[in-house]
């Protein structure tokens, strides 16, 4: 099939190349017209010899005209394929009906026009309709066996050419549609990726800005509340504070730019950026929203990690839970945090139907945006993410994030004590 | 306004220990301030304010459980003499300014403010003055321009009780002018302006100048000018 397609492709390419020569259609028409006329004349001559009837030239003239009627309309191939095909079909029919003959040139023109009408003309089904006109001739023909066989061949080849044109056209249109769809899907993904990256970047900057403002607060506090601080020390603290303020001014400008990139975002959040100590809340919410079993499993000794890493882990889990709820409603979900000295392994798996089977299915679902976002999040902190079918058949999202420990806990609430409670209660 | 003999009572609400204890320690270095409580989230802040009845609350916006703007709304709307609220933010003010002022905040402070600015800000707000830097006023104006493009229609409605002169003073106030500037513009003494301002606040039932500015914009008395105008 592939080879046939390939050969057909090569052939159609060659035909197209010839057809694109400026005067090719006109030349072809003239050549075919001459060949057709010559054959008609030859046939008339031989026929009159056999029958020994005086013809007075009328037969020759009629045959000539009819032969031209079957070939000359080829000139209208590009502009009026429907009219050309109709005229040629009628002339061919007439020739077969009256003279029990048809020139090879006329046959070729009829077939080409029928194909062409099916492939590019309107209405395309007219091609099949015209080809059908040969059918009664083939069935009821009273001509000699040779001519009858020729008529049958013409009737079937005409149908075949017409339908080949129609089928090729349908396939070309389908290919075009799916190509357009892919372009749209691709640019949507690209757009989503850019928005997601801007959001991630904004959130990380947010975390950093917060830390810098902490430096400023502490520098001011130290400057004014340290008992017996000598003047040079006070000046040092003062300049630390100034540096932090300068950095923050730059940060705010940057955040302004990043915010423009995520223009359709909801207003500035009024909550701190989430960290893993809020995971229980998140899982409680998921449990209530989905009304299913959602478990949190913690392995290895939990430590407070860098806020950027914890934010990434939190957002990945959040997105994965949303995905499970959307694509595997009612499925039980296990969220697992595995702390090792080198990395934090996060996995979210459900016992739902698993990932969609074909790539088209993935592309047509908003799911892919979520997956994209999770991947970007993991990459932003130097980690990686994998999604796919779990050993049990459900969907799994697995991320490995570097275990960068937080330099200092920013508030007592950051202690990982939250994991000590039994978080496995099921909804 | 406040009796100079009594210290200004302050509550600091922020979910970060560093900010909470840092600001409390800074404020305590001033003789005329006393920090009467701290809170780690909005709910906590509402409770502490009910118990301590402070004059000023330094309020973070982003807090777990209840955010600072919701807490501001509850505290500013509480019965009796409600405390004045200074909003603390790490970030730029754009997105909070409108909501916070509507909720009843009296001013804004960035967390990386210098200690001297912080002290000034607290004293200014405690005295009932507006703490709106020119940039904040500009943002407020553009925010109103964005949110209420046709505020004109309602002009005068809730401000009917003001005299012509008081209305004029309120207009200038909403443009961000200080008392001396208003006095110069209207060719009167600063004392006269102060009298007008306190009458405006009393008549409209407003807590301070910031809220007077918000009222002026909300009533449509002052229409945000477009940049071209």
Where are chain A's structural domains?
A: 2-182, 194-261, 276-420
Which among A244, A410, A412 has CB closest to B112?
A244
Inter-chain residue contact B29 with A216, CB threshold 8 Å = no
CA distance A411 to A45: 111
Inter-chain residue contact B63 with A271, CB threshold 8 Å = yes
- Three-state DSSP state, A393: coil
Give Cα A209 to chain centroid, integer Å: 39
All residues of chain B having their beta carbon less than 8 Å from the beta carbon of residue A206 are: 91
DSSP string, A165-204: HHHHHHHHHHHHHHHHHHHHHHHHHHHHHHHHHHHHHHHH
| Partner residues linked to A344 by β-bridges | A339, A401
- How many pairs of residues across A and B have Cβ atoms under 8 Å apart? 89
The pLDDT of residue B223 is: 67
For tokens 């009664």, the residue is A136
Q: Is A232 near chain B, with CB under 8 Å?
A: no
Check pLDDT > 60 for residue B72: yes
Torsion sign, CA atoms B80, B70, B105, B52: positive
Q: What is the pLDDT of residues A400-415, one digit of tens each?
A: 999 887 765 444 444 4
Best residue in A211, A216, A217, A238 for a mutation probing chain B (most B CBs within 10 Å): A217
Q: Among the listed ranges A13-17, A49-53, A292-296, B42-46, which one has the minimum average pLDDT value?
A: A49-53
Decide which of A261 and B20 is more confident: B20
CA distance A95 to B65: 92
Q: What is the pLDDT of residues A316-370, one digit of tens each?
A: 998 888 888 888 888 889 999 999 888 999 999 988 887 766 554 444 444 456 7
Best residue in A248, A268, A273, A413 for a mutation probing chain B (most B CBs within 10 Å): A268
What DSSP designation does A305 have?
B
CA distance B60 to B20: 10
Give Cα A403 to chain centroid, integer Å: 37
Pick from A145-149, A239-243, A421-425 the range whose average pLDDT is largest.
A239-243
**H/E stretch holding A398:** strand A395-402
Closest CA to B56 of B114, B98, B106, B1: B106
Inter-chain residue contact A214 with B114, CB threshold 8 Å = no
Q: Are A397 and A387 in contact (CB under 8 A)?
A: yes
The band of B158, judged by pLDDT with boundaries at 50, 70 and 90, is low
CATH topology of domain A276-420: Heat Shock Protein 90 (3.30.565)
The pLDDT of residue B35 is: 95
The pLDDT of residue A425 is: 37
Domain with CATH 1.10.10.10 in chain B: 151-219
The pLDDT of residue A49 is: 61
Decide which of A360 and B208 is more confident: B208
Check pLDDT > 60 for residue A238: yes
CA distance B27 to B37: 12
Closest CA to A408 of A304, A274, A276: A304
Of all residues in chain A, the one with the smallest CA distance to B95 is A268
Inter-chain residue contact A272 with B96, CB threshold 8 Å = no
Q: What is the pLDDT of residues A268-317, one digit of tens each?
A: 567 777 888 888 888 888 888 777 788 889 998 888 888 888 989 998 99
Which residues touch B221 (CB under 8 Å, ≥6 apart)?
B155, B156, B159, B167, B170, B171, B174
Which among B23, B68, B90 has CB closest to A210?
B90
Q: What class does CATH assign to B151-219?
A: mainly alpha
Pick from A180-184, A232-236, A377-381, A402-406 the range whose average pLDDT is largest.
A232-236
Output the CA torsion B179→B185→B190→B193 (10° steps). Answer: -70
Q: What percent of chain A has pLDDT over 90?
A: 11
CA distance A280 to A288: 12
If you average pLDDT over residues B144-167, what whole number do you get? Answer: 63
Domain with CATH 3.40.50.2300 in chain B: 8-131
All residues of chain A having their beta carbon less than 8 Å from the beta carbon of residue B139 are: none
Q: What class does CATH assign to B8-131?
A: alpha beta
Q: What is the pLDDT of residues A22-79, one digit of tens each?
A: 677 788 888 888 888 888 888 777 776 655 555 567 777 888 888 888 888 888 877 8
Give Cα A287 to chain centroid, integer Å: 34
β-strand pairing of B56-60 with B84-89 = parallel
Inter-chain residue contact A256 with B92, CB threshold 8 Å = yes
Which residues touch A366 (CB under 8 Å, ≥6 apart)?
A326
Of all residues in chain A, the one with the smallest CA distance to B15 is A411
For tokens 């709910």, the residue is B43
All residues of chain B having their beta carbon less than 8 Å from the beta carbon of residue A407 are: none
Check pLDDT > 90 for residue B56: yes
**H/E stretch holding A295:** strand A294-299
Q: Is A262 near chain B, with CB under 8 Å?
A: no
If you average pLDDT over residues B105-122, what whole number do you get? Answer: 87
Best residue in B19, B30, B111, B112 for a mutation probing chain A (most A CBs within 10 Å): B112
What DSSP designation does A292 have?
S
DSSP string, B75-132: HHTSSSSPPEEEEEESS-SHHHHHHHHHHT--EEEETT--HHHHHHHHHHHHTT--B-
Torsion sign, CA atoms A325, A326, A328, A334: negative
CA distance A31 to A313: 76
């Amino acid at each position: 099939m592939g080879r046939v397609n390939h050969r057909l492709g090569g052939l159609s390419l060659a035909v197209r190349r010839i057809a694109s020569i400026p005067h090719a259609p006109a030349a072809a028409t003239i050549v075919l017209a001459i060949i057709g006329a010559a054959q008609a004349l030859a046939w008339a001559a031989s026929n009159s010899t056999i029958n020994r009837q005086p013809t007075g030239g009328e037969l020759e003239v009629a045959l000539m005209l009819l032969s031209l009627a079957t070939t000359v309309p080829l000139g209208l191939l590009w502009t009026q394929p429907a009219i050309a095909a109709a005229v040629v079909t009628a002339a061919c029919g007439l020739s077969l009906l009256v003279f029990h003959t048809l020139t090879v040139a006329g046959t070729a023109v009829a077939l080409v026009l029928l194909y062409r009408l099916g492939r590019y003309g309107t209405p395309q089904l007219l091609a099949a309709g015209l080809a059908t006109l040969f059918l009664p001739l083939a069935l009821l023909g009273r001509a000699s066996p040779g001519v009858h066989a020729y008529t049958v061949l013409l009737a079937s080849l005409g149908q075949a050419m017409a339908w080949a044109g129609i089928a090729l056209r349908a396939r070309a249109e389908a290919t075009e549609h799916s190509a357009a769809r892919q372009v749209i899907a691709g640019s949507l993904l690209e757009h989503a990726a850019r928005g997601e990256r801007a959001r991630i970047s904004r959130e990380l900057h947010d975390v950093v800005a917060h830390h810098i403002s902490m430096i400023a607060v502490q520098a001011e506090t130290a400057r004014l509340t340290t008992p017996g601080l000598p003047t040079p020390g006070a000046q040092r603290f003062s300049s630390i504070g100034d540096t932090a303020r300068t950095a923050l001014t730059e940060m705010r400008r940057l955040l302004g730019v990043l915010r423009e990139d995520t223009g359709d975002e909801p207003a500035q959040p009024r909550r701190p950026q989430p960290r893993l100590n809020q995971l229980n809340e998140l899982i409680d919410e998921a449990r209530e929203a989905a009304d299913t079993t959602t478990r949190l499993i913690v392995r290895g000794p939990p430590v407070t990690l860098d806020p950027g890493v914890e934010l990434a882990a939190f957002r990945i889990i959040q997105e994965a839970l949303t995905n499970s709820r959307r694509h595997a409603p009612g499925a039980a979900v296990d969220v697992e945090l595995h702390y090792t000295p080198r990395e934090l392994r996060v996995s979210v798996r459900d016992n739902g139907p698993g990932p969609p089977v074909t790539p088209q299915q993935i592309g047509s679902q908003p799911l892919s945006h979520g997956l994209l976002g999770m991947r970007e999040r993991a990459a932003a902190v130097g980690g990686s993410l994998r999604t796919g079918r779990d050993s049990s058949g459900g969907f799994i999202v697995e991320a490995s994030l570097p275990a960068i420990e937080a330099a200092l806990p920013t508030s007592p609430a950051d202690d990982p004590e939250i994991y000590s409670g039994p978080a496995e209660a099921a909804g | 306004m406040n009796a100079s003999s009594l210290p200004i009572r302050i509550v600091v609400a922020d979910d970060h220990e560093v900010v909470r204890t840092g600001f409390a320690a800074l404020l305590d270095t001033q003789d005329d301030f006393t920090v009467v409580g701290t809170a780690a989230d909005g709910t906590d802040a509402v409770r502490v304010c009910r118990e301590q009845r402070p004059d000023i609350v330094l309020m973070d916006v982003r807090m777990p459980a209840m955010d600072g703007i919701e807490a501001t709304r509850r505290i500013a709307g509480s019965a009796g003499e409600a405390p004045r609220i200074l909003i603390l933010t790490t970030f730029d003010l754009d997105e909070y300014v409108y909501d916070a002022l509507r909720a009843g905040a009296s001013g804004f402070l960035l967390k990386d403010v210098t200690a001297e600015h912080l002290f000034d800000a607290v004293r200014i707000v405690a005295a009932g003055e507006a703490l709106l830097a020119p940039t904040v006023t500009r943002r407020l104006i553009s925010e109103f321009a964005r949110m209420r493009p046709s505020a004109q229609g309602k002009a005068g409605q809730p401000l009917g009780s003001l005299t012509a002169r008081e209305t004029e003073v309120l207009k200038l106030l909403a443009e961000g002018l200080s008392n001396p500037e208003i006095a110069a513009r209207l060719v009167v003494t600063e004392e006269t302006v102060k009298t007008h301002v306190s009458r405006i606040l009393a008549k409209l039932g407003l807590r301070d100048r910031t809220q007077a500015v918000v009222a002026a914009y909300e009533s449509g008395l002052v229409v945000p000018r477009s940049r071209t105008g």
